[in-house]
Amino acid sequence: MAGPPCSLMVNACQSLHRRSEWRLEGDTRWFKVRMSNRIWKNFAVVLKAIIHRGVFICVEQPSQSWALKQEYFRELIKIGNMCLDKVIAFLHIFFFKKKV
Protein backbone atom coordinates (compact mmCIF):
# COMPACT_ATOMS: atom_id res chain seq x y z
CA MET A 1 0.00 0.00 0.00
CA ALA A 2 1.20 3.52 -0.63
CA GLY A 3 0.52 6.71 1.26
CA PRO A 4 0.53 10.44 0.65
CA PRO A 5 3.66 12.06 -0.76
CA CYS A 6 5.95 13.56 1.85
CA SER A 7 6.00 16.88 0.00
CA LEU A 8 2.62 17.69 1.53
CA MET A 9 4.08 18.04 5.02
CA VAL A 10 7.81 18.86 4.80
CA ASN A 11 9.62 22.10 5.55
CA ALA A 12 10.66 22.51 1.92
CA CYS A 13 7.07 23.64 1.29
CA GLN A 14 6.94 25.82 4.41
CA SER A 15 6.37 29.01 2.41
CA LEU A 16 3.11 27.52 1.09
CA HIS A 17 1.65 25.51 3.97
CA ARG A 18 2.99 27.65 6.86
CA ARG A 19 2.66 24.84 9.40
CA SER A 20 4.05 25.47 12.87
CA GLU A 21 3.87 24.05 16.40
CA TRP A 22 0.90 26.30 17.14
CA ARG A 23 -0.75 25.88 13.72
CA LEU A 24 -0.35 22.23 12.70
CA GLU A 25 -3.08 22.43 10.05
CA GLY A 26 -1.16 25.20 8.29
CA ASP A 27 -2.62 28.08 6.32
CA THR A 28 -5.98 26.57 5.38
CA ARG A 29 -6.90 29.55 3.21
CA TRP A 30 -4.99 27.73 0.47
CA PHE A 31 -6.75 24.92 -1.40
CA LYS A 32 -3.58 22.81 -1.64
CA VAL A 33 -3.07 22.99 2.12
CA ARG A 34 -6.68 21.96 2.80
CA MET A 35 -6.35 19.08 0.33
CA SER A 36 -3.08 17.85 1.83
CA ASN A 37 -4.72 17.88 5.27
CA ARG A 38 -7.66 15.90 3.86
CA ILE A 39 -5.37 13.36 2.16
CA TRP A 40 -3.45 12.76 5.40
CA LYS A 41 -6.63 12.48 7.46
CA ASN A 42 -8.02 9.92 5.00
CA PHE A 43 -4.72 8.03 5.18
CA ALA A 44 -5.02 7.99 8.98
CA VAL A 45 -8.52 6.47 8.71
CA VAL A 46 -7.17 3.69 6.48
CA LEU A 47 -4.28 3.07 8.89
CA LYS A 48 -6.68 2.89 11.82
CA ALA A 49 -8.67 0.14 10.06
CA ILE A 50 -5.45 -1.73 9.28
CA ILE A 51 -4.20 -1.44 12.87
CA HIS A 52 -7.47 -2.88 14.19
CA ARG A 53 -6.86 -5.94 12.01
CA GLY A 54 -3.48 -6.45 13.65
CA VAL A 55 -1.43 -5.70 10.55
CA PHE A 56 2.08 -4.29 10.94
CA ILE A 57 2.44 -0.85 9.39
CA CYS A 58 5.36 1.35 8.51
CA VAL A 59 4.97 5.04 7.71
CA GLU A 60 8.06 6.65 6.22
CA GLN A 61 8.44 10.41 6.53
CA PRO A 62 11.40 12.80 6.64
CA SER A 63 12.44 13.81 10.15
CA GLN A 64 11.20 17.38 9.70
CA SER A 65 7.75 16.28 8.45
CA TRP A 66 4.65 17.69 10.15
CA ALA A 67 2.62 14.55 9.38
CA LEU A 68 3.35 12.55 12.52
CA LYS A 69 2.87 15.65 14.70
CA GLN A 70 -0.79 15.94 13.67
CA GLU A 71 -3.39 15.13 16.34
CA TYR A 72 -4.97 12.29 14.34
CA PHE A 73 -1.57 10.57 14.06
CA ARG A 74 -0.85 11.00 17.76
CA GLU A 75 -4.19 9.26 18.42
CA LEU A 76 -3.20 6.42 16.08
CA ILE A 77 0.06 5.99 17.94
CA LYS A 78 -1.86 5.60 21.21
CA ILE A 79 -4.56 3.31 19.77
CA GLY A 80 -2.18 1.06 17.90
CA ASN A 81 0.36 0.86 20.71
CA MET A 82 2.80 2.02 18.07
CA CYS A 83 6.34 3.06 18.61
CA LEU A 84 8.03 5.65 16.49
CA ASP A 85 11.47 4.70 15.33
CA LYS A 86 13.87 7.11 13.74
CA VAL A 87 15.89 5.81 10.84
CA ILE A 88 18.67 7.78 9.24
CA ALA A 89 18.92 7.22 5.51
CA PHE A 90 21.79 8.38 3.43
CA LEU A 91 20.54 9.70 0.12
CA HIS A 92 23.84 8.94 -1.58
CA ILE A 93 22.42 5.51 -2.28
CA PHE A 94 20.02 7.47 -4.49
CA PHE A 95 22.86 9.62 -5.88
CA PHE A 96 22.49 12.45 -3.34
CA LYS A 97 25.23 13.55 -0.95
CA LYS A 98 22.97 14.89 1.81
CA LYS A 99 22.09 12.96 4.99
CA VAL A 100 18.41 13.05 6.04
Coil, strand or helix: which one is 73? helix
Comparing CA positions, the residue from 72, 98, 69 lying closest to residue 10 is 69
Domain regions of the chain by residue span: 6-94
Across the strands, what pairs with 20? Answer: 23
pLDDT at 12: 65
pLDDT per residue of the chain (100 residues) written in tens, 0 to 9 = 667 776 777 766 666 678 878 888 888 898 988 888 898 889 888 888 888 888 877 777 777 788 888 888 888 877 766 666 555 555 555 555 555 4
Rg of the chain on CA atoms, in Å? 14
HSE at residue 4, side-chain half, CA atoms within 13 A, is 24
